[in-house]
Amino acid sequence: MKIYQGKSILKGITIGKILYYSKEEQMVQRRSITDTEAEWTRYEEAKEQASKQLNALYEKALKEVGETGAAIFEVHGMMLEDDDFNDSIKNMIEAQKVNAEYAVASTGDNFSLMFSQMDDEYFQARSADIKDIAERVVRILQGKNADGELGDEPVILAAKDLAPSETVQMDKSKLLGFVTELGSSNSHTAILARTMNIPALIGIPVSEEMNGKMAVIDGVKGELIVEPDEELLASYQEKKREEERQRELLLQLKGKEDVTLDGKKIRLYANIGSVGDVARVLANDADGIGLFRSEFLYLEKDTFPTEEEQFQAYRTVAETMAGKKVIIRTLDIGADKQADYFNLDHEENPAMGYRAIRICLDRPEIFKTQLRALLRASAYGNIGIMYPMIISVNEVLQAKKYVEEIKAELDEKGIPYGDVEQGVMIETPAAVMISAQLAREVDFFSLGTNDLTQYTLAIDRQNAKLDNIYDSHHPAVLEMIRMTVENGHKENCWVGICGELGADTTLTETFLKMGVDELSVSPGSVLPIREIIRKTKIGDGGF
Ligand code: PEP
Ligand code: MG
């Protein structure tokens, strides 16, 4: 048994086997692709290579163990040519526009399950074979030829570091938790872990030796326990059951209103990064979505998402939320969120660089495509548009001008759109200081406390070395929040918080007393915050 001390990202407990992840040894990721023909060709080439490998294995086995032992490779070769198996892969690539690795792995899983459920023992035994074949082809597609041993069971992922673009593409149903050596608690990878409600630790010295070992993440103490002894494991299993009981209790708050003891209705919304996160929003009964980080749609892809693809994503979210507010933030790419196809230059200081609204206003073809998709989707629900990294009134006026231009275009073509509220992220000290003027131009403010802390304290949120002094409770940050609320309210602008600080239960009462109207938090934090809102009396405020 070995215990490592790290820093916790989410206070949960998880138990499972470790998968050591390096850039060379990846899990099967789901990627959206556009060129389905090229993807099918990639598959055919990989299949041909797999077939050659199987022939070689057959010949080798024939020499070493004889006809009966070698027959299995012949069977594998035949299964690889099976029409149903190949049709399923082709169909998945074409209909779902996914990468070949994902289509092969999913088809392998489906067929293997189907075989395992057959009555005949012979076919049941083929279940493992079909998995073997799929794994072989996936390894070839990933450029790895050695027989690896990646399992299908959910794992605790151990990695040196994870970029947001890697995390967003992982199959989340296979993740029990993350441990990384690098990274900071305010990085987007950490935020994604919170959105997925997955226990995660940073600052753990990970190594390949951990691969395959049983482990526990204790998100309360910030510990990773590798190969816990029986007694400790049993005590963690009990703690996990207790956590589940607590969760059951919180679920009793589902359907209850977010109203303080003295009657103020608070908008309690959730943050999402993808369409798939909406299920968690509904399961946790949030009253809306206060931040959809739309840039993750761009990070999932290897080329710009088209207007139609974006429209479908925004429309699905708006329709699923059935009239509840869905605030979609326009592209906030740059800094730690990089997509190669944007061809952004390397910068010395990307957090203060060419990013977010700056790129959008500089490259209107990208911005207008997104705005058109957003406006079209607004006909199907209650969409709000939010602009990130604002530092001037002029930026807001320019963005609003594009919105008006696009509305005129849509009118001309008879394409419907709804009433959209427009708002800005308040995440730079400049935006706070000019919030009185900004409030005249928009319907709402949403405080991005992650960046606001970074820029106010001059502490890079990505820098793990500074994690201990990155203090969102700093009086300067709290005063900025108070000031923003005051200035917003003077102009009838509602004010929310969508940064991670909004989920800090030690500050919920303070925020409500400041007059904050909305809190948008990771889905798993909705019910704990609801519990506090319902027990809080605002009185005359008085922060
Ligand atoms: C923030 O800065 O607080 C915020 C919500 O935006 P992001 O974390 O995506 O930068
Ligand atoms: Mg931000």
Predicted TM-score (pTM) of the model is 0.75
Rounded to an integer, the average pLDDT of 49-68 is 77
Ligand 2 centre and the CA of 261: distance in Å?
32
Q: What is the mean predicted confidence (pLDDT) over 336-362?
A: 92
Test site for ligand 1: of 297, 298, 332, 358, most ligand atoms within 8 A of the Cβ:
332
Nearest to 132 by CA among 102, 152, 114, 118: 152
Instruction: Give the sign of the dihedral formed by CA 517, CA 269, CA 480, CA 384.
Output: negative
- Residue 147 is predicted with a pLDDT of 38
In DSSP notation, 26-88 reads PPP---B-S-HHHHHHHHHHHHHHHHHHHHHHHHHHHHHHHHHHHHHHHHHHHHHT-HHHHHH
Which residues have a Cβ under 8 Å from the Cβ of 418 and sit 6 or more positions away? 378, 379, 380, 381, 382, 383
Residue 498 annotated in active site = yes
Three-state SS for 89? Answer: helix
pLDDT tens-digit series, residues 496-531: 999 999 999 999 999 999 999 999 999 999 999 999
Q: What tens digit of pLDDT does each residue of 440-489 get?
A: 999 999 999 999 999 999 999 999 899 999 999 999 999 999 999 999 99
Q: What pLDDT does residue 149 have?
A: 35
Is-contact 40 90, C-beta < 8 A?
Answer: yes
Cα separation, 292 vs 67, in Å, equals 59
- How many angstroms does the Cα of residue 260 sit away from the middle of ligand 2? 28
Q: Is the CB of 498 under 6 A from ligand 1?
A: yes
Residue in this structure with the two tokens 């103490």, named with its chain if needed: 221
Residue nearest to atom 9 of ligand 1 (CA): 293
Higher pLDDT, 132 or 178: 178
Interval between CA 475 and ligand 2 midpoint (Å): 20
Pick the atom of ligand 1 nearest to 271's CA: 5
Which atom of ligand 1 lies at the shortest distance from residue 293's CA? 9
Identity (one letter) of the amino acid at 44?
E
Query: Which residue's CA is minimally distant from atom 4 of ligand 1?
Result: 448
For ligand 2, an ion, list residues with CB under 5 A.
427, 448, 451
Q: What single-letter DSSP state applies at residue 203?
A: S
- Model pLDDT for residues 62-94, shown as the tens digit of each residue: 776 567 667 777 888 888 999 999 999 999 999
Residue tagged active-site, from 76, 360, 493, 498 = 498
- Ligand number nearest to the C-alpha of 187: 1
- C-alpha separations of 101 from 242, 255, 298, 322 in Å: 39, 41, 20, 35
Q: With beta carbons less than 8 A apart as the criterion, state whether 174 and 154 touch.
A: yes
User: Furthest-apart CA pair in the chain: how many Å?
Assistant: 87
499 lines ligand 1 (CB under 6 A): yes
Looking at residue 146, its pLDDT comes to: 44
Q: Where are the beta strands (DSSP E) in 80-127?
A: none
Question: Does 346 participate in catalysis according to the annotation?
Answer: no
| pLDDT at position 26 over 60 | no
| 150 pLDDT more than 50 | no
**What is the signed CA dihedral for 417, 421, 424, 425, rounded to 10 degrees?**
-100
| Whether the CB of 395 sits within 6 Å of ligand 1 | no
CA atoms of 482 and 436, how far apart (whole Å): 13
For residue 65, what pLDDT is reported?
A: 58
Q: Could you say which DSSP state residue 25 is in?
A: B
Q: Is residue 260's pLDDT more than 70? A: yes
Answer yes or no: is the C-beta of 427 below 6 A from any ligand 1 atom.
yes
Q: Which of 185, 293, 296, 446 to mutate to test the pocket of ligand 1 (most atoms within 8 A of CB)?
A: 293
**Active-site residue identified among 76, 188, 360, 493:** 188
Specify the pLDDT at position 123: 74
pLDDT value at 148 more than 50: no
334 in ligand 1 pocket by Cβ < 6 Å? no
Lowest mean pLDDT segment, chosen from 139-153, 199-213, 315-329, 518-532: 139-153
Ligand nearest to the CA of 337: 1
Cβ-contact 271, 521 below 8 angstroms: yes
* Per-residue pLDDT band at 6 (split at 50, 70, 90): very high
Question: Span 27-32, mean pLDDT?
Answer: 84
Average pLDDT over residues 237-242: 95
Which of 400, 404, 407 lies closest to 438 in space, CA to CA? 400
Find the 451 Cα to ligand 1 centroid distance in Å: 6
Mean of the per-residue pLDDT values of the chain: 91
Q: Is the CB of 294 under 6 A from ligand 1?
A: no
Mean pLDDT of the 386-409 span: 98
Q: Which of 178-192, 269-283, 461-475 has the lowest mean pLDDT?
A: 178-192
Q: Whose CA is nearest to atom 6 of ligand 1?
A: 448
